[in-house]
Amino acid sequence: MSDLKDSSARARGVSYAQELEGHLGWLDTFSGTALGVLAVASGIYTYLGVSSLLDDNGAMSAFAAIAYSVAVSVGIFVFWSYMLRLFPAVRGARARVGLMGAMALGSVAIIAMSSWLNAAALAGSAAVEQHLAETVQDYQVSLERAHEVALSAQGLERDVARVRQSFEDLSEQEATGNLSGLAGRGAVFRVLRQKSSELAGLEAQIASQTPLVEGAFAEGNAILSRMRALTVEPGPVEARSVEFSEQAVRLAGLITQIRQLSVASLVERAAQDLSASVVLPELDAPSEATRNDQSATITSVLEVLAQRAQTLARAAQAVQAMPAPPETTYTPISSADAVILYAGNFIPSWAGAIAIDLLPAVLVFILAITQSAIRMGREGTSVEDRLTLAELRAAVAVMKEMDTAMKADVTAQPLVHPPLNNKTAAE
């Protein structure tokens, strides 16, 4: 009973193995063709990627790109043909680990020589446009930062105007005698007017810079708008990159101009000179006591002047301490380099480029699993259990042919007796 069950199980295993072999036989009829199509497709995209890297468009460059793509196609086809045949056939664990290591090394080589070029062909233009868009954003940040610093410097005009107004008010008080006690336009009045005139000139100089700052900022925004348009316009991205580079140079010049229009350093120097360079007039009071009063008032004015100058200097230093605009420079980039630089933004393209080269690895594992199942189905069976009916018929026919041939040979050969000696003849 046990032998009957074992025989039935072996029969089912043989039937299962034969069924799988039938499927593999049918799949083998087009597996090579499919592998060739994948290799050719990868070679075509590799050709497009290589062409984007070559500067020269002559016949030699085209020939070099074709030669490289053909070499890639042949290499992919041969490599995966080896794997499809050998990996499923080996049985030992050591041999399988060795072939798996070879397959991993070959896959890395295929990615290095083909997949990244395929990705460049699939998403190269989009990656370059991404690079242009990122550069526009960097320039916009730099322009806005330069404008912000320049506006903060222009805001110092209000501080200068406030200090100027305070000195003018003090001069009016001196003119009416409410400051030093001596009405008129004497020494104290002239000192106050001297400093208010200096501050008025500084205020006018700051005000003259405002239209220049605003004009440069408006022109920079116009250039930015043109650069944004270039990132999305139809047509070859190489031609757009040339004009984009020209606009980037113009914009960089405008950003530098806006930075130079900042008056913070000018206000700081003026504040330092405000108290350091005072021309003291001759005291013109008629009496010694009044002249002493004028001298004391001028001393007080100089102290106030120093305080106001320190306040202006601190305000100017605060503007100068603001973070400077980041240095931005547009660097032209090839489609292949752009795909690598912005790989995170083009994961689907990278996945497609790698999949077209490494898809046969899935077929290798499928074949390995199927061959292992076939071997398990045939395990424990003898040779005669594995023969199909067609194979048995072919074997019987061959045996009959061999038997007929042997009989024909025996009939055709004459009977030859050995020579008799004298003793044998007498007997």
pLDDT digits (tens, 9 = 90+) for 139-164: 999 998 988 888 888 887 887 788 77
In three-state secondary structure terms, 89 is coil
Predicted local distance difference test score (pLDDT) of residue 368: 86
Q: Where in the chain is the domain with CATH 1.20.1260?
A: 125-338
Single pTM value for the model = 0.66
Predicted local distance difference test score (pLDDT) of residue 177: 59
Please say if the pLDDT value at position 332 is more than 70. yes
Predicted local distance difference test score (pLDDT) of residue 392: 66
Among 129-133, 179-183, 334-338, the minimum mean pLDDT is found in: 179-183
Residues in CB range of 140: below 8 A, 6 or more apart = 224
Mean pLDDT of 111-118: 86
Q: Of 183-187, 230-234, 387-391, which has the strongest mean pLDDT?
A: 230-234
d(CA 69, CA 78): 14
251-293, pLDDT tens digit by residue?
A: 988 988 888 888 888 888 877 776 655 544 555 555 555 555 5
Q: Give residue 331's Cα distance to chain centre.
A: 13
- How many angstroms separate the first and last alpha carbons of the chain? 64
Predicted local distance difference test score (pLDDT) of residue 108: 92
Which amino acid, one-letter code, is at 357? D
Please say if the pLDDT value at position 421 is more than 80. no
The answer to whether the CB of 154 falls within 8 A of the CB of 209 is yes
Please say if the pLDDT value at position 87 is more than 60. yes
Share of the chain above pLDDT 90, in %: 8
Q: Give residue 92's Cα distance to chain centre.
A: 43
Q: Give residue 299's Cα distance to chain centre.
A: 66
Predicted local distance difference test score (pLDDT) of residue 104: 92
In three-state secondary structure terms, 212 is helix
Among 120-124, 180-184, 221-225, 390-394, the minimum mean pLDDT is found in: 180-184
For the domain made up of 125-338, the CATH class stated in words is mainly alpha
* Percent helix / strand / coil, the chain, rounded to 5: 85, 0, 15
Mean pLDDT of 313-326: 82
Mean pLDDT of 48-58: 75
Mean pLDDT of 227-254: 87
Maximum alpha-carbon separation in the chain: 191
Predicted local distance difference test score (pLDDT) of residue 414: 56
Predicted local distance difference test score (pLDDT) of residue 402: 80
Mean pLDDT of 47-62: 76
* Count of H-run helices and E-run strands, the chain: 14, 0
Please say if the pLDDT value at position 424 is more than 50. no
Scan for tokens 């730099």, then name that residue: 142
